[in-house]
Structures are given as C-alpha cells and as structure tokens.
Amino acid sequence: MSRKVSLALLAGVSCVGFSDSAFAIDASPLSEPAVIYAREPAQPAPVRTAYAERSQMGGGFIEFLFGDGPQQGGRYQQPPAYQQQPAYQAQPDYQQQPGYGYGGRRGYLPPIDPQQSMRQQQQEEAVDPAQRPFDPKYNKQVVDYSGKESAGTIVVDTPNKFLFLVQGDGKALRYGIGVGRPGFTWSGVKTISAKKEWPAWTPPPEMLARRPDLPRHMEGGPQNPLGARAMYLGSTLYRIHGSNEPWTIGTNVSSGCIRMRNEDVIDLYGRVSVGARVVVI
C-alpha cells in the first residue's frame, strides 16, 4: 500500500516539472516500504530551462512539455538568418552632403573651396576681352519679321541687343549690337541724316567731362572708336557706327550710340540711304 502511495506522489511531482533524473526509486519487496534517495542534480532542471525558453515563444507550458517543442510543424522555429531584417546602415558620406540628388549621386555638390573659387575668378578676369568667344547668335542672319514697319526701316531692339533691317517680305536681316550703359539708353524714332566712311571722332563736352583722359580729336582709321562706318541719327549726337572692340557686341557699353562689328556696319551701310527711318525701342 505504501509503495503505491509513494509512486502516486512521484507521478504528481513529475507533472509539475520534475523529471526522474533528479530522484531514484529503490524497488524493495512489497513487505518493505519504498525508499526514495535524493541526490544532487548534475545539471539545472531541464524543465525550468525549457520554461524560460517557452516563455519567450508565447505558447502553453504543458503543450511545450508533451509536444514536439520548437520543431512542432515549424510553428515555433526562429526565422532563418536571411529572413531577419539587416541592421541599420549609415548613409554614405556623399548622401549627407547638401545638394544630394534623388535616386543616386546625381546632383551631389562637393564642398566649395573659397580659395579655389577666388583663383578661378581671378583667372577669368585676367583673360583678355579680345580673346573671349563671340556669341554666334549675334552673327548677321535672316529671320522672320511680323512687325508693322515697312521695308528699308531699321528697328533697334535695345533690350535684346539686335538691329533689324526690314526686308518687306516677312523677313528681316538681324545684326548683333552693343547699346548704351544703364542710364544712357533711349528710345524714339529718328532718320539717318548723314553717312560717313572711316569717320573722324571728336568727343562731345559731356563725354570729356566724364572722361578727361580721352583725346580731343581722332582721325578716322582702324583705331578710331567709331569704326569703319557711321550713320548719324537726326541732329543728335547718337550714331549707328562700327567698333574696334567687337567683343562688346551684346553688352550695355556705350554712351547711347548703337555699335556694330565693322563687317556688319559696312554691310548695313551699303543697304540703307540717307533719310531711312530708324525706330529705337
């Protein structure tokens, strides 16, 4: 009788998490009571270790003890390493720079070296203006013209720095020009009052007051600032004339005159007559 009770107690202990590795049963004859010898466990109770692991898996303790554990249908398996999210990686240095473009390195702006920028500016300023390339849009060319002016009229487009000679068939010859500096531009309607080849130049008193270093008179020639030809506009001091500084075409440079390259002013000079209408806008 006592043997059956002892076994029942042992079974009850095993149900709450102790395995038979922690206790030994001495099976004696029925006339003697069963003796239970306790000995120190060699390792921590595996059931407690399993419980600690199971507590992180979210399942029941009894299910873990009597089921297949972590291998049960793959239900409690840890995801393979390739399925785990990679650790956060810092962005490359070029992505942290201002101006980083969307989707790649396009638009990346390297740090600006102030000294290098200053040296580049000084090199650009040191270039001889005469060596600067001429913008091809200022070359003489035939263009469409839809204005109301009649053939033979000269139209000066000051803001865009073009001179048009209207042809009368929906076309015009267009030349690049240099115009007055800020404060020296003007607009109006004039006529060509005179034409001169290789004109002499006498600076007016107003110009000498601003530039006392200018010569009081200069005969015509390649060094004359009026260039190869000049067409005088009414009774004013303004002229359409050539220039020995062709790199100034396309800029605001004069004291109100309209300047052209020498080859262009020669071409225009041969196409217009005294009395031709000039519209300056």
Q: What is the pLDDT of residue 132?
A: 74
**pLDDT tens digit sequence for 8-23:** 444 444 444 444 444 4
CB 227 within 8 A of CB 242: yes
Coil/strand/helix, residue 167: coil
The arithmetic mean of pLDDT across residues 259-265, rounded, is: 97
Beta-strand pair 179-180/252-254: parallel
Going through the chain in order, the beta strands assigned E by DSSP cover: 23-26, 35-38, 141-144, 154-157, 162-166, 171-176, 179-180, 188-197, 229-233, 239-241, 252-254, 258-259, 277-280
Token pair of 128, please?
């001889």
The arithmetic mean of pLDDT across residues 199-223, rounded, is: 88
Q: What is the pLDDT of residue 110?
A: 52
Identity of the highest mean pLDDT range in 64-73, 173-182, 206-215: 173-182
What radius of gyration, in Å, describes the C-alpha atoms of the chain? Answer: 51
Token pair of 124, please?
């650009």
Beta-strand pair 258-259/239-241: parallel
The arithmetic mean of pLDDT across residues 105-132, rounded, is: 61
Q: Return the CATH class of domain 136-280.
A: mainly beta
The phi, psi pair for 3, rounded to 5°, reads: -65, -40
Query: With a threshold of 0.85, does the pTM exceed it?
Result: no
Token pair of 269, please?
């000079």
Residue 149: Cβ within 10 Å count? 15
pLDDT at 155 over 60: yes
pLDDT at 179 over 60: yes
pLDDT at 256 over 90: yes
What is the rounded CA–CA span in Å between residue 171 and residue 90? 63
CB 259 within 8 A of CB 253: yes
**pLDDT tens digit sequence for 117-128:** 666 666 655 566
Q: What is the pLDDT of residue 133?
A: 81
- 241 exposure class (CB count in 10 Å sphere: 0-12, 13-18, 19+): buried
Lowest mean pLDDT among 69-73, 176-180, 242-246: 69-73
Where does CATH 2.40.440.10 sit in the chain?
Answer: 136-280
Q: What is the mean pLDDT of the chain?
A: 73
The arithmetic mean of pLDDT across residues 37-42, rounded, is: 54
The arithmetic mean of pLDDT across residues 135-144, rounded, is: 96
pLDDT at 149 over 50: yes
Q: Alpha-carbon dihedral of residues 243, 246, 249, 253, nearest 10 degrees?
A: -60
What is the rounded CA–CA span in Å between residue 260 and residue 248? 9
pLDDT at 185 over 70: yes
Provide the pLDDT confidence category of residue 265 given band limits of 50, 70 and 90.
very high
**pLDDT exceeding 70 applies to what percent of the chain?**
54
Provide the pLDDT confidence category of residue 207 given band limits of 50, 70 and 90.
confident
What is the rounded CA–CA span in Å between residue 8 and residue 273? 134
pLDDT at 3 over 70: no
CB 227 within 8 A of CB 241: yes
**pLDDT tens digit sequence for 69-84:** 444 444 445 545 545 5
Token pair of 176, please?
């690049």
pLDDT at 112 over 70: no
